[in-house]
Each structure stands twice: as structure tokens, then as C-alpha cells.
């Protein structure tokens, strides 16, 4: 086939699947009535969404005063949650774009769900900047449009405006990339169905036929979208970090922020992908497509990015001391040993120490350990953003304005509710679309299926291996 696969690679599709088995296994769950687990999960998520809607209504109706922000601490849970969600969104594009450029075949098993996760996480992230504006009905002011005020334009020199462009571009490109891949799979679902369902999937599949010329263009488009999405995903979190780094606040004003934020984003995103995929493979019976091999690969990325993040934390500490600048030194002393010391230690324990367990192959391949680690990391990465935002703001230049901040029920409600929003979207997705990219998995079957590769391989299949070349 297209690329030579090293003999030491393990199979990525187990159970001696045929092409038709793949179609059945992946389309099947969407064609049956949802199970009890799905229904319970959906009920809980809808309850969460209701909490979200109510808390947002409360904020908009009574104003930002319902939050505990004050003159000193102007950003609290709102921007913490924004950065947390947008970071989670990064893994989908990393898996689908960067790993496509690196020709990592294991991405095919998880890219569809990871991209869906990206889109839903960005939707959740987008809520927070909008809500924290207070007067949300004026949110369109962030766009540069001809207006009757001069026209007076937005400030193109501001990182906050760069963020508007970065996140809306990221959202748009992610959706285009995701949907382009979904079209052939919707056609597969269309051709299996009848009646109304066929009409709906016909609409969604844009009339896809599987023509060889279309596939050629599809491949060309995928490659270029991947090439575009790769610098895009790096730029998005870089620009998010500029929101902090371009300000003149000790603890924020550091050049290390862009790479540190990007690594942290990938780290938290992979953790969320693992949380979701470990549940999805069990509930939707996808163990043959999302194998322990996939989980191990993702754990390796977690170990790498977790260690980058850890190095960044230590570098920050060292540089703040080495700078000889007392405000910078105090900012970091305050982070580790100030009033929010518990969030700093939570961050260090969850993000730096605990992922080191993945140096051991046994734990990288353990589903139980991986699941708990993925939750730990999500908590740790939330703490990281809280440390950067609230801890830094709580102690500024003037001791007279020092302050402390705890969220109100409204802020907690919006955060917890946003998790409900996320899961409602994800659970709906598992009902209407193939959770694994059907066509992409079929295209790696001959190189990575366990009947062709690994210890269960049947010898006669190798005869065909080189035919596809020219």
C-alpha cells in the first residue's frame, strides 16, 4: 500500500475484520435504539445543560455582579474555563492534522471522535468570553464591521481581538475538516438505510458516490487542510497565551508562554480524548478499532507533553529567581506558597508527577490506570489555568489592593453546566454519525489488520502486499 509499515508495529484493527465487518460494527450502533447507559448519560448531561442555561440566564439578567470578581481579580473562573476548554479542543486537530502529516496510522481509529470533541470543546470555550462581556447582546462589537461610530474600528493590535480571529477561524476550519471526512461515511450510512433515514443521510452525504476522481481530490484536500490546520492549531493557543503574555503583569509577562500553553493544550486534550474514548469503546463495543495499542500511543503523547509542561513550570521558577526582578520573584513565590498554594500543588501533582507513571509500559497499556490518569490530568490542567489567572491577579503591585476570590454558585453552575453542554453534544454525535472514520479505517486494514500483521497474521495474505504500488 502507500507506505511501508515496520514489522514491529502492532495491529491496529483486531478481530480479523473484513471491510463489511467494519461497516457493520461502526454503523450498527447508530441504527439500533440507544441503550440504558446512553439514556442515563444523556439524562445527566441534559440536567447539566439546564444548570448551564439557568446560570447563564442569571448572569445575563442580573449582571456580572452575581460573580465574585472584584477590582483586583477581574478574571476568575470564566477565563480559566475558557482556556481549559480551548486547550481540550487542541487534541482533535493534533490527531487529525499533525498525525496525518506524520503518517501515523493509529490516528484513523480515534480521529473522528477527537475532532468531534474539538468542535464541542470550542463551542463550550466560546461561551465564556461571550458571557463574561456582561452585555452579551453587544457581543457583535468584537467584529470589524462598518458602523455609524465613525466608523470606529476594533483594535487590531490587541491580543484579545487576535483571539476572536484565531478561535473563529479554528472553529470554522475544524468543522470543514471534520465534515469533509464525514461525507463519505454518511454515504455509507445512506446506502444501508431506507425511507426517511435514507433521505436524511442522502442530504448529509451531499450525493457522494465514491468515484475514484472524487477520492483523489478528497486526498488532496485532506492533505492541504491538514497542512493548514497544523500551524493553525499551534497559533490558536499561542494567541490565547498572548492574552496574558503581552500584559505587563509579573507572572504573565513571559516569553515562555506560547510553547508552554501549546504543550499544555495538547496534554489536556489527549487526556479528554482518552476519557471519552475509553468510555465510548466500551459502550459502543469498539475494542477492535480503538485498541490498547491506540491507548498506549496516546499515553506516550501525554508523557511527552506532560514532561514539557513540567519543564516549563520549573523553567518559570528558575527564570523568575534568575531575573533578579523582585516583582517577578514575588509572583512565583506567591504562586507556590501564597494563599492559593493548594491549587499550585494540585497542578504540580496532577500534571508533572502523576504522568511519570507512563514511563512503565505496563501502566501505559492499563485501561484502568489510563482512565484515572486522564481525569487527574483534566483536573490538573484546570488548576494550571486557575493558578496562572487568579493567583497572579490576587497579589499585584499594591498590597492595599490584594484580594482573595472564591466563585459564587453562578460561576460554578456555568462551569459544571458547560460540561453538560459538552456531553449532550457528544452523546448526540454518537447517535447520528459514525464514531470511527469508516473509510479511513478500511484504508489501513491491509497494513494494520491483525489477520495481515502481527502474530495472528495468515501467511497467504502477504502475497498481495506490494501490488497496490504502481
CB of 317 to another protein, least distance (A): 29
CB of 83 to another protein, least distance (A): 17
Q: Judge whether 94 and 266 are in contact, CB under 8 Å.
A: yes
Q: Which is nearer to another protein, 215 or 402 (CB)?
A: 215
Q: Judge whether 451 and 16 are in contact, CB under 8 Å.
A: yes
Phi, psi angle pair for 345, to nearest 5°:
-75, -30
Handedness of CA 298, 300, 304, 310 (dihedral sign): positive
> Exposed/middle/buried for 75, CB within 10 Å: 0-12, 13-18, 19+?
buried
Grid cell, residue 259, equals: 510553547
Let me know how long the chain is: 470
Q: Which is nearer to another protein, 15 or 34 (CB)?
A: 15
Q: Which residue has the cell 514489522?
A: 7
Cα atoms found within 13 Å of the Cα of residue 348, Cβ hemisphere only = 12
Q: Judge whether 100 and 222 are in contact, CB under 8 Å.
A: yes
What are the CA-CA distances from residue 457 to residues 11, 221, 449 (Å)?
A: 9, 34, 8
Grid cell, residue 61, equals: 439578567
Q: Which is nearer to another protein, 25 or 384 (CB)?
A: 25
Q: Which is nearer to another protein, 161 or 349 (CB)?
A: 161
CB of 26 to another protein, least distance (A): 11
Q: Which is nearer to another protein, 5 or 166 (CB)?
A: 166
Q: Which is nearer to another protein, 198 or 431 (CB)?
A: 198
Q: Which is nearer to another protein, 140 or 156 (CB)?
A: 156
CB of 157 to another protein, least distance (A): 4
The 3-state DSSP class for residue 102 equals coil
Q: Which is nearer to another protein, 13 or 387 (CB)?
A: 13
Q: Residues 132, 134, 135, CA angle at the centre, nearest 5°? A: 135
Q: Is 331 left (phi over 0), alpha (psi -120 to 50) or beta?
A: alpha
CA–CA distance, 215 with 22 (Å, rounded to integer): 19
Amino acid at each position: 500500500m502507500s507506505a511501508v509499515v515496520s514489522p514491529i508495529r502492532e495491529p491496529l484493527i483486531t478481530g480479523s475484520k473484513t471491510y463489511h465487518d467494519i461497516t457493520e460494527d461502526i454503523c450498527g450502533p447508530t441504527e439500533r435504539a440507544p441503550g440504558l447507559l446512553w439514556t442515563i448519560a444523556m439524562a445527566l448531561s441534559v440536567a447539566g445543560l439546564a444548570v448551564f442555561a439557568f446560570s447563564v440566564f442569571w448572569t445575563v439578567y442580573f449582571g456580572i455582579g452575581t460573580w465574585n470578581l472584584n477590582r483586583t481579580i477581574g478574571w476568575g473562573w470564566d477565563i480559566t474555563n475558557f482556556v481549559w476548554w480551548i486547550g481540550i479542543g487542541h487534541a482533535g486537530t493534533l490527531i487529525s492534522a499533525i498525525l496525518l502529516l506524520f503518517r501515523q496510522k493509529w490516528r484513523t481509529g480515534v480521529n473522528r471522535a477527537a475532532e468531534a470533541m474539538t468542535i464541542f470543546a470550542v463551542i463550550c470555550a466560546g461561551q465564556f468570553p461571550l458571557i463574561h462581556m456582561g452585555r452579551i447582546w453587544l457581543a457583535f462589537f468584537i467584529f470589524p464591521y462598518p458602523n455609524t461610530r465613525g466608523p470606529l474600528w476594533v483594535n487590531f493590535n490587541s491580543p484579545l481581538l487576535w483571539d476572536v480571529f484565531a478561535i473563529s477561524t479554528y472553529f470554522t476550519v475544524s468543522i470543514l475538516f471534520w465534515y469533509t471526512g464525514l461525507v463519505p461515511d454518511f454515504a455509507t450510512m445512506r446506502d444501508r438505510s431506507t425511507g426517511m433515514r435514507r433521505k436524511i443521510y442522502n442530504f448529509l452525504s451531499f450525493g457522494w458516490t465514491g468515484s475514484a476522481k472524487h477520492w483523489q481530490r478528497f486526498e488532496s484536500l485532506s492533505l492541504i487542510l491538514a497542512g493548514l490546520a497544523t500551524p493553525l492549531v499551534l497559533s490558536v493557543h499561542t494567541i490565547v497565551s498572548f492574552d496574558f503574555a503581552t500584559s505587563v503583569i509579573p507572572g504573565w509577562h513571559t516569553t515562555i508562554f506560547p510553547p508552554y500553553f501549546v504543550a499544555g493544550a495538547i496534554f489536556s486534550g489527549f487526556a479528554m480524548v482518552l476519557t471519552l474514548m475509553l468510555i465510548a469503546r466500551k459502550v459502543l463495543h469498539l475494542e477492535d478499532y480503538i485498541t490498547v495499542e491506540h491507548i498506549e500511543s496516546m499515553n506516550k503523547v501525554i508523557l511527552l507533553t506532560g514532561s514539557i509542561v513540567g519543564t516549563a513550570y520549573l523553567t518559570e521558577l528558575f527564570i523568575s529567581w534568575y531575573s533578579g526582578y523582585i516583582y517577578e520573584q514575588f509572583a512565583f513565590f506567591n504562586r507556590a506558597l501564597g494563599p492559593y498554594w493548594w491549587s499550585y500543588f494540585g497542578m504540580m501533582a496532577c500534571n508533572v508527577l502523576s504522568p511519570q507513571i507512563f514511563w512503565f509500559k505496563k501502566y501505559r497499556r492499563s485501561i484502568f490506570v489510563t482512565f484515572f490518569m486522564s481525569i487527574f490530568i483534566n483536573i490538573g490542567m484546570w488548576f494550571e489555568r486557575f493558578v496562572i489567572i487568579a493567583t497572579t491577579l490576587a497579589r499585584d503591585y499594591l498590597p492595599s489592593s490584594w484580594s482573595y476570590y472564591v466563585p459564587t454558585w453562578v460561576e460554578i453552575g456555568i462551569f459544571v453546566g458547560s460540561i453538560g453542554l459538552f456531553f449532550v453534544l457528544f452523546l448526540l454525535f454518537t447517535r447520528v454519525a459514525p464514531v470511527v472514520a469508516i473509510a479511513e479505517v478500511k484504508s489501513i486494514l491491509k497494513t494494520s489488520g491483525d489477520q495481515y500483521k502481527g502474530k495472528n497474521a495468515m501467511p497467504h495474505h502477504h502475497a498481495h502486499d506490494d501490488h497496490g504500488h504502481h
